[in-house]
Structure 1
Amino acid sequence: MTKTTEQAHDNISHKLDLFRLTNRHDNDECCTAPYTHINIDNMSEASDEQAAMQHYLVCGIGDCQKNGQFYCNACHRPLCKQCRDEHKKSPNTKNHEIVLYRHRKHQLPVEICQDHPTRNKDMFCRECSMPLCSKCSTMREHKGHEFDDLEDIYADKYALWQGEFSKIQKYFLPTTQDLKTDIKEDAKQIKKIMESIRTSMKAEAESLKTLVDEVTSENIEHTHTMEKTFRKMLKSQKTTYDDYIEYLWKMSDEFQEYLSTTNQKLLFKSKTFKIQTIPETTKPVPPVFTAGQFNKNDITKLLGRVNVPNTKQEKRKIQPMEAESTRMKYTEKQSEQSKEKSDVKQTLSLSSSVTKVREYSVPGVCNACHASVDKSGRLWISDSMGKLVQTDLRGNQLQKIQKSYQIIIAGFHTATQDGDLIYTDIQKKAIYRITSDQKITEFIKTGDWRSLSVHSSHINGDILVGMVKDRAGAKVTRYSKTGKEIQNTQRDNQRQELYSHPFYIIENINGDICTSDLNKQAVVVVNKLGRHRFSYRGQGSEFRPLGICTDVFGHILVCEIVSNTVHLLDQDGGFLSVILSPQQGITSPRSLCVDDENNLYVGQSDTNTVTVYKYLQ
């Protein structure tokens, strides 16, 4: 879906929210939202002007003008972080449901009950399948019936239809436009192919004409040669008869002389002359022209013909909606989360100092070589002996898995957007999934390759795996969330090996794949197509990176084990600062991860303590 379409969708949703919030008839002062009344006929212009004047939703508590990034589903108004905390502490509102603004429940439009004009319809009778007010529910005809909150039903229906609208905008329209573009490209290609065929046909005809002219010329020349031979033969025969005729005339003269003499003795004494026979000659056999035996089909065979191959026409590939949402676009939830992060990002910046928020010890592990935080805020920690433990934010152990008894210092596990955990097993050369109900299943076999690190994409759910193989080198493989191999990255444009031992791997917000390679002594970054972008090799003579993560700005944070520091890089690999060093009490940083609240979790190799820091303000 284009950016313009996304903006239009967001504008429509925002305008609907503005209209509902500004046209309520609530008497409760605590539910009044800080929006100016907008005339529905001029809603487009008014909303655009208001959007231009304010860059974020304003908190709905009194005169508070802070960013209302949260929402109270009970009061139906936005809240800033401070007012949210106070809202939770107040006895009157502590039980209210507060969510991120994008996850808010849409308020039920006001509809007056016809039977009880002083009340609004706010309930739904299951048996009668009709909305009604609370007083209607006490009437005899609804006695014993079950009722639902009409607002919950409305919110569900709203989300359903909004989802269908989103499908049209994000899938059906773009996909159909892509098909139209595909048809246009096919038309261009067909035109190009037919022009090429016509050019080839003309060239073939010209070639045949040239051959015909050449053969005809040779045949005609041959007739001239044959004619010369016949003429020479006939000329010789003519000479023979000319000579014979001359002989006859001579003989005739002699005979005439003898016949005219008066001397009889001379006549009788003359010998008898015998006339030579007429010379024999041969009559030439004239040549005969034998016409060529061919017809139109023979010419067609010589020149060729154009045929459509006798193959079944291939249907145009229509990307399934499921694949579209998982591979090419964000899902609805991911899109909302991305927008929320973008909203939060505008209010954050790098802090001039790093602040320790809290720290706690993780039971069941001897150190913290890798950390993954899931969507519920729970933490997965692994140590160098292959033990994998899940804890809550207070350090209480929830699950424990003994993977192996080998020394493992790598990012071999990752939390998915679905709340599952994925981890690799080097010995079994397989990748496993742990679901929320603690069920473990194998879903990827890596063959001869040993998987060192793994990361679940927060963009589309793809699985990125760093692997090594004896004498074959190292690579990063991309799998779909169902385990289908999609892409392999092993060398750069100069065919040089990109990786040696990709111990830790992470995906940045722009789709870059960032790999911490201890043996290469570099952070190797390629784009989502697998093309090498840059390699960061530290600020000193020796750089040994391990744990790596990225944040809402696209910053890259990486542990360096020679100086025992944490480096902060920008999205393009530019060094920004050392944010953690032994001066802050960090002695052996090995693992990093960032949660949705932009807290930085740091694990060390010499202790099982995880420390949480704030470096954004």
Structure 2
Amino acid sequence: MDLRRSAQDVLRCDLCETPVPPMYCDICHIHLCKACVGEHLSEFAKEHKIVPFEKRGSSTKCLNHSSKICELYCEQCDIPICVQCTSSTEHQGHTFVYIVNILEKQNAAVQRDLQELERFIFPKYQEISSNIPVQKANLNKSLQKVASDISKHGEEMHREIDVIIKKLKSDLDEMASKYLTVLNKHEDDIKHMLSDITQTTADVRKLVNSDDVGLVSAYKSRNAEFRKLPPKLTVTLPSFSPQKTDKHQMFEQFGSLSELSIEIEEHNYTLRTEHSTPERSLIDVPQIITEINTDYTYAATVCCRSDEDIWIRCNGNILRLYNLQRGLLKSIKTRSNHCAADFAVTRSGDLVYTDAQNRSVNIVKNKEIQTVITLLGWIPCGVCSTSSGDLLVAMHNDDWETRSKVVRYSGSTEIQSIQFNENGKALYSSDGCTQYISENRNLDICVSDFGAYAVVVVNQAGKLRFTYKGHPSTTKVSFYPGGITTDSRSRILIADSDKNRIHILDQDGQFLRYIDNCGLREPIGLCVDSRDNLFVAESETCKKNTTTPSSEHYPPEKYLIDVPHIIKEIKTDFQYAENVSCLNDEDIWIHGNDNILILYNLQRGLLKSIQTKSGNRADDVAVTRSGDLVYTDKTNRTVNIVKNKDIQTVITLQGWRPCGVCSTSCGEILVAMYNNDWKTPSKVVRYSDFTEKQSIQYNDNGQALYSLGYYFKYISENKNLDICVSDWKASAVVVVNQAGQFRFTYTGLPSSTKKPFDPFGITTDSQSHILIADLDNHGIHIVDRDGHFLRFIDNCHLEEPFGLCVDTNDNLFVADKKTYKVKKIQYY
């Protein structure tokens, strides 16, 4: 037996025997000390995944590529995948996210559920349970008083009324028995629920710190079930009403007990908690994910049954269920053979639809159709299912003069009617035009009223909150609202079929943006899935589009000022200034023609100087998300990171030399590099944790994207995740998307410059504008995200602009090579 591996020995590094190694390779399943990590990673023959010892086993191997780790997650297929899987036909056109983000999201959901169970749901049930003994005490006290009143009145009637007294007391006892039976059952139900909640809380608590991907992924929340509080008992206890004594009419005059009244009041609300859903902001450019061609004359309404299955309604009497991958699943004909006016999916997954012709609301269970509501004098149009399981139905009157209304139903019973505001004015139009309806996350009721050219929003109690009649800047243009839906952030989305666009509002009616870039043709029906993907039914094209309006931050729109101007100048000690990178809005890194990297503060001047590790000059610099400086050294083929004053070599290349570098929004590193042989086209490589995960070199036709050999190539990631490379040799800026697919090339605008385009430094701003230094033409090009020229900055005394960066306020920093200055320029 190897004593070094015996139970008495401590855990040791598998390469050097150092005790208690803190790292672990999840691929090779070996323990490593920090000193041996580099040596292990140098084994290029296979892939490695180094994680802290505590996180061992957290990586998942790809089922299709056994040597690869699943670093990504396919949102359409709902499975972990490796980088190699992304290029397969099986996942073509799908959306990928990092698996660590999925784990973080699931862990966050588990944590939120645990907090909700412990802080809100369980205490609320305890409160309700503790109130039942009080009700029992009040029952005895109240009934004793009634019994006393009966006895006192009975004494006045003497023996003639003894029989009556006994009869009434017997009735009273029977009522008490009935009420006590109901209370006992109610108490038993609540205690059962408390037991369920306690067990669920214990199960969720176990998952909070679990690294088991299988268990965490399989977790299903029961909080929605528990948020619906138990019914409230409202009891009207009997009272005694004495009558004047009349010997001949003793029984009639003595009095009687009122009936025992026990009402079970269902909570028409769900327990509200303080936590909210994870922040999801709007992306710059919504994009179409999927299109479904229907066989309808036009597609009118769409409703999500799940993230993969959707119901679609048209102008006929057929309702169809589609799966995004497999196509048509089933078709159902309406019960009356009339066209459905609108439909929705209930919490239990059943389809409910309105039939204007026979004034009914119907529910589809499997293939059986039941009529659950039949109206008299009113015609139903829009319908939605609420978070509490009620139905909201928008309806208009037969006479076309009475104002429309919204009615809430619990089952088939009307429990609320919304028609007028607090001043008695009608909330909705009266001309029988189409009205769609949706309940928001904050329980507001949102109605798209075509006849009023408005969206009307009331709260859960039916009180008016606001009316939206289109964007304020377009008040002279008619607003024709169609379908309406809401998302996880309580944003309201409205189809504007006349203008071929979607309006997005916040929960208070403030306009956020339009979606008008997805080629929409008369959008009518809308719905969103659990991931906030938007489904749009188009009446003209008979298509259903899936678009993604939410993900990254969507900044407020800015406009370029007429005359950019210099805010500040920093004179450096370099022979010339080459590159600049913002650490924050006040501190900037600068490097020039030597081996010194300098950090400047705009107010206090020089903060510190650092010499490169090799003594060679740096080729490019960038600041990571964590605030560390990363630089390239082409002479010894390395990428290095500066932490405080310590410099670590994190990437060493073989056969390639790095030039441009940038840090991405997700914390990865993009490196532009050229080959030693000067014959192989240059490429861009993406590194995650300093491990290569993507290489970008050719377009879809096999043609090289970048020039050959060592020439200046600077790189920047845009806000929309495009990768922008300034290629000096090619006299061009080459832009590809996140997947490496070619988008466009910008070669300058001949009319704006006297000499050929001479691109060097490149950066991007909050508006996804691309800024390129043009050294020979002494200025800065500004291009939009699609490569369209916007303007040329040539008025700030720039002599040889080289390096560029922008701060969080979109102030531009320019390293001017010839004047060895850095200039801070305002251009918004």
User: Normalising by the residue count of structure 2, what TM-score does the alignment of the two structures yield?
Assistant: 0.38
Q: Judging by fraction of residues, say which structure has more strand.
A: 2
Q: Which has the higher relative contact order, 1 or 2, with Cα contacts under 8 A spaced 6 or more apart?
A: 1
User: Normalising by the residue count of structure 1, what TM-score does the alignment of the two structures yield?
Assistant: 0.50
Q: Judging by fraction of residues, say which structure has more helix.
A: 1
Greater C-alpha radius of gyration = 1
